[in-house]
Chain A
């Protein structure tokens, strides 16, 4: 049994909302509007085009538990050691079931003009900001998050400032009962010419079918240069729903990586609006799934200003009965001339029962643009395997090496050396473990 105080599992969102107030949470207009939107829409179904291949019925059928009170001493530092990125030289914010845990967190000296803290501590001053970037989204999970978010990271990097160290946001779930949900809200504000690396990881300490519902809003200023690595390795019963809403300034550089290895079902909504000229943005993703897992990346990149580049690269390795879903839409608005947009999705199917659904879409209303997309789905290439075998590698090693290379195409785009190396090693270990399993 979990010691976490949650709402009564039988409650509806409306009742849970009332309990939120009893717990002293201020019901800002954002929360009320979120509840209203969710009450109207309910959970999405496969009849919604945006959710056609990703059935969230199992999420909708879970009891509605909110984790209302932060967990105290129940977990200690020792439970986090040996977890991914534990040794990384970074400032660390740790959130347990959606609540900030100061004891486990570690924030060093960042330059003045840089704020690294948890959102709840400064929410009062940010009422106008929070929700301003995600506002246009009709995703029911964003509405749910608006209503129920508990906490998340607040990172502000002033004009011309640089993060002294990368910031690692570690979100763990400890819940012992199915349906316990953490609604997490992150707010990232990078000023003009700001620099920094942000790592976001989502891990399970328990095995229950928990829900993490994350909304991240990021405002990246003119000329800023931000790398954001999202690593999701939740338990095989967990559900993970995330959305990223970014607004980028003139000549900004933004690289977002999504590595999805865990969860029974994970969905990443990426919404980027390039409304200033000269932006370069890369969305880079890897999903490696087995069993009944499903990972869905659903992105809309809107080019609303000239001379922006956006590149999307997503590779998936699908084993057993898993399903990989990719939906990428590049929207080039009138006037967004000299757009250079590129989108690729490659899928390796390892097993007869694995499924890949891919929808790489282009919607273009300007003529002087370079837009391409490509998608491939298939098994491993026999010629490559043969070539490796003629060099003395046995067939399983050859396959593993090819898979590693396939994953490596994505991993190698991570600029932060230590993160890249750790993820590369992790992918290799997973492939090896898999090999021993089979």
Chain B
């Protein structure tokens, strides 16, 4: 599904990603771990198409097509979803209205019928219940005045509604208490299907107690220095990143 080959990218001549190779197939859950500054969030941004990041070398294929060639909204409509580490506050824009517009754009792209207000509300309320979100949530502006936990749950709600093929979760666990973490993880797990994939970016092993990855990769200084199965995450939890960095050097 996703094929990253020798991806090099940075900001304003400063290289951050120095050659990433990664394959993600349908039905798989990958965890990408690494210390601060290793380039985890940069990778997420490049995959979603944020401006300001220059890809200097390499390629990213998504279902065989060049992902980097697409505008951010085209990637979204093709099924790439990024759960933001810091969801953006948009004062004045009503959450329900925003989400319905997004859902219908994606549905339109897939050749599905657009949801009318009624059906949309039915669908979204069901998902909200699962995520423990209060109904007044829909009336509030997007993320404005939300607590950290609410913002993250809103990201998962959007993911559930947009039904992506490839979900990239950028430090979705940061700033969550244990209960919120469990709700978010449940939400993610419920979306797992044989025809979609998840790339979970995290600093800590904690989230991986709830979302069990098939593969774990360690990113350091813009490169994947080790890959393994879920036991690698446990090993990292115990020993930290230093030993791996030394081993790689």
Contact = CB atoms under 8 A, between A and B. Distances in A.
B158 A391 contact: yes
B105 interface: yes
Contacts of B73: 389-395, 398
Given A387-B90, A401-B101, A395 B84 contact: no
Given A393-B73, A393-B101, A397-B101, A405 B88 contact: no
Contacts of A405: 90-94, 141
Contacts, number: 82
B162 interface: yes
A385 to B, nearest CB: 9
A408 B91 CA distance: 9
A170 B94 CA distance: 31
B13 interface: no
A133 B76 CA distance: 58
Contact of A392 (B51, B93, B162): B162
A156 to B, nearest CB: 37
A409 interface: yes
A188 interface: no
A402 interface: yes
A202 interface: no
A366 to B, nearest CB: 31
Contact of B77 (A392, A402, A404): A392
A393 B105 contact: yes
A190 interface: no
A390 B48 contact: yes
A405 B76 CA distance: 22
Contacts of B105: 391-394, 397
A359 to B, nearest CB: 24
B199 interface: no
Contacts of A406: 91-92
Given A382-B51, A386-B50, A386-B51, A391 B76 contact: yes
A144 interface: no
Contact of B72 (A384, A386, A408): A386
Interface in B77-105: 77, 81-82, 84, 87-88, 90-94, 98-99, 101-102, 105
A48 interface: no
Interface in A378-429: 381-384, 386-395, 397-398, 401-402, 404-409, 412
B71 interface: yes
Given A390-B48, A391-B162, A383 B92 contact: no
A383 B72 CA distance: 12
A395 to B, nearest CB: 7
Given A392-B162, A393-B102, A394-B71, A384 B76 contact: no
Contacts of B72: 386, 389-390
A409 B76 contact: no
Contacts of A393: 73, 101-102, 105
Given A397-B101, A405-B90, 4 more contacts: A384-B88, A386-B48, A395-B71, A405-B141
Q: 3 nearest interchain CB pairs?
A: A405-B92, A405-B93, A389-B72
26 contacts: A383-B88, A384-B90, A386-B49, A386-B51, A386-B72, A387-B84, A388-B98, A389-B71, A389-B73, A391-B98, A391-B99, A391-B158, A391-B162, A392-B76, A392-B162, A393-B102, A393-B105, A395-B73, A397-B105, A401-B101, A405-B91, A405-B141, A407-B92, A408-B94, A409-B92, A412-B92
